[in-house]
């Protein structure tokens, strides 16, 4: 029997609630595929800081080192609570970026998917949504401004100043470009390259390398779009996109905008893949305002499980089944209060009931 270790990092806020639903799905998949998933929880995030003195404790690092894959919940506390944590120990800087750096998870996949039946979640008009939204953002995740040199101090005029640098070398660009071209090759063979080469030198090099890598993918058409224009097109005509590739900060911002056109970041799972290890996480935050109320939708968390099944364990058919199960719970008219939009008639259920229904649908497939 195949046996895999999965490190579960519940995180903060709604993290533990949605993790419970993800576990239901993993357990069902394990039983019916004769697989063993060894599931171990590790402390990670703001709560880990308060309980263990560090947001990414050594014990969690070891757990992750030994795991075949990592499933991570959202992290972070309210603005007020965060202030109780020293800046470098806050979970984004103290845990999440170090997790990405530790496993060099340079390739971030963020599918932006809303089938026609779920179009009512989107704030866009039906005529713009057409047959639904279906594209994927591929974001470089371990370079650029978020990982560049940082300096703060007092300048020669006695003024406080800050400097942060955006650095990429050609290898870092080429490896994410290959991931993007490979993905485009498997889909519609159109790749949108997002850049800002009219201003940033980093984008000039980025585009050069994209051009070089494209030589190996003659069947993929590359379309270049400035990042600011891409933000507009995402609202006006998201249907034109299939695969989009971009550097770290552009991807951070545009993927949140993409969550907006779906209607919620709660509908966006993600995969963060490195050379030897991958971790999976919902792209949304920890929603401290609704934590503990059993109303958060576990879709992005369970979707992250689906991505793990496909990308880490080669269980492609089961990954599809998980997606189908979730869609059918939605199309039967169920939703959770956090996702509901005013005026839409839905049968409002709790986080755990939603997870139960997904598991029941999955059991039928």
Which residues would be at the binding site for ligand IPM (CB under 6 A)?
92, 96, 252, 283
Q: Which of 252, 338, 352, 356 is catalytic?
A: 252
Contact 175, 274 (CB under 8 A): no
Could you tell me which residues come within 8 angstroms of residue 346 by beta carbon, excluding any fewer than 6 positions away? 333, 334, 335, 340
> H-type helices in 263-347, by residue range?
299-311, 316-331
Nearer to Mg ion, 252 or 352 (CB): 252
Nearer to Mg ion, 272 or 359 (CB): 272
Nearer to ligand IPM, 247 or 318 (CB): 247
Q: Which of 196, 217, 277, 299 is catalytic?
A: 196
170 binds, among Mg ion, ligand IPM, none (CB under 5 to 8 A by kind): none
CA distances from 293 to 16, 72, 296 (A): 12, 20, 8
Nearer to ligand IPM, 128 or 145 (CB): 145
Give the Cα separation of 221 and 230 in Å (integer).
Answer: 17
CB of 112 to ligand IPM, least distance (A): 13
Burial of 274 (C-beta count, 10 Å sphere; 0-12/13-18/19+): middle
Q: Which of 49, 103, 146, 217 is catalytic?
A: 146
CB of 330 to ligand IPM, least distance (A): 24
Give the Cα separation of 211 and 170 in Å (integer).
Answer: 12
CB of 256 to Mg ion, least distance (A): 5
Is 68 in the active site? no
DSSP state of 157: T
Nearer to ligand IPM, 24 or 259 (CB): 259
- The three-point CA angle 242-245-246 to 5° equals 145
Q: Which of 40, 216, 228, 289 is catalytic?
A: 228
CB of 19 to ligand IPM, least distance (A): 17
CB of 342 to ligand IPM, least distance (A): 27
Is 228 in the active site? yes
Q: How many CB atoms lie under 10 A from the CB of residue 158?
A: 6
- The three-point CA angle 255-123-12 to 5° equals 50
Could you tell me which residues come within 8 angstroms of residue 123 by beta carbon, excluding any fewer than 6 positions away? 260, 261, 263, 341
Is 196 in the active site? yes
Contact 336, 351 (CB under 8 A): yes
- Lookup: tokens for 198: 């009219």
Output the residue with the shortest Cβ distance to ligand IPM. 92
Output the residue with the shortest Cβ distance to Mg ion. 252
Nearer to ligand IPM, 176 or 283 (CB): 283
Which residues are near Mg ion by CB under 5 A? 252
Is 146 in the active site? yes
Give the Cα separation of 104 and 352 in Å (integer).
Answer: 34
92 binds, among ligand IPM, Mg ion, none (CB under 5 to 8 A by kind): ligand IPM
182 binds, among Mg ion, ligand IPM, none (CB under 5 to 8 A by kind): none
Q: Which of 68, 182, 242, 256 is catalytic?
A: 256
Nearer to ligand IPM, 253 or 311 (CB): 253
Of the candidates 262, 260, 310, 307, the one whose C-alpha atom is nearest the C-alpha of residue 282 is: 307
Contact 82, 244 (CB under 8 A): no
CB of 141 to ligand IPM, least distance (A): 7
CB of 139 to ligand IPM, least distance (A): 8
71 binds, among ligand IPM, Mg ion, none (CB under 5 to 8 A by kind): none
Contact 14, 287 (CB under 8 A): yes
242 binds, among ligand IPM, Mg ion, none (CB under 5 to 8 A by kind): none
96 binds, among ligand IPM, Mg ion, none (CB under 5 to 8 A by kind): ligand IPM
**Which residue is it, tokens 């940082």?**
150
Residues serving a catalytic function are 146, 196, 228, 252, 256
């Amino acid at each position: 029997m195949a046996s895999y270790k999965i490190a579960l990092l519940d995180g903060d806020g709604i993290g533990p609630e949605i993790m419970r639903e993800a576990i239901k799905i993993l357990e069902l998949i394990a039983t019916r595929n004769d697989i063993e998933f060894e599931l171990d929880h590790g402390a990670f995030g703001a709560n880990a800081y308060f309980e263990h003195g560090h947001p990414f404790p050594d014990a969690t690092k070891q757990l992750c080192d030994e795991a075949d894959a990592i499933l991570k919940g959202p992290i972070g506390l309210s603005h007020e609570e965060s202030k109780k944590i020293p800046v470098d120990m806050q979970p984004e800087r103290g845990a999440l970026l170090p997790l990405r750096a530790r496993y060099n998870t340079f390739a971030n996949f963020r599918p932006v998917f809303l089938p026609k039946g779920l179009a009512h979640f989107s704030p866009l008009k039906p005529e713009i949504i057409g047959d639904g939204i279906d594209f994927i953002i591929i974001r470089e995740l371990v370079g650029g401004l978020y990982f560049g040199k940082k300096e703060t101090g007092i300048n020669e005029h006695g003024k406080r100043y800050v400097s942060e640098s955006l650095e990429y070398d050609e290898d870092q660009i080429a490896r994410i470009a290959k991931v993007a071209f490979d993905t485009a090759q498997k889909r519609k063979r159109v790749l949108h390259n997002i850049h800002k080469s009219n201003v940033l030198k980093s984008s000039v090099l980025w585009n050069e390398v994209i051009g070089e890598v494209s030589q190996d993918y003659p069947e993929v058409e590359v379309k270049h779009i400035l990042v600011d224009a891409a933000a507009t097109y995402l609202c006006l005509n998201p249907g034109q996109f299939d695969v989009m590739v971009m550097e770290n900060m552009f991807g951070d911002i545009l993927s949140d905008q993409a969550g907006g056109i779906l209607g919620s970041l709660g509908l966006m799972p993600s995969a963060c893949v490195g050379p030897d290890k991958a971790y999976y996480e919902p792209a949304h935050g920890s929603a401290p305002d609704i934590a503990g109320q059993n109303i958060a939708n576990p879709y992005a968390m369970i979707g992250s499980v689906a991505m793990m099944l496909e990308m880490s364990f080669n269980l492609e058919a089961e990954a599809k089944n998980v997606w189908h199960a979730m869609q059918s719970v939605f199309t039967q008219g169920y939703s959770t209060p956090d996702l509901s939009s005013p005026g839409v008639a839905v049968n409002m259920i709790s986080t755990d009931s939603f997870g139960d229904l997904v598991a029941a649908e999955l059991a039928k497939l």
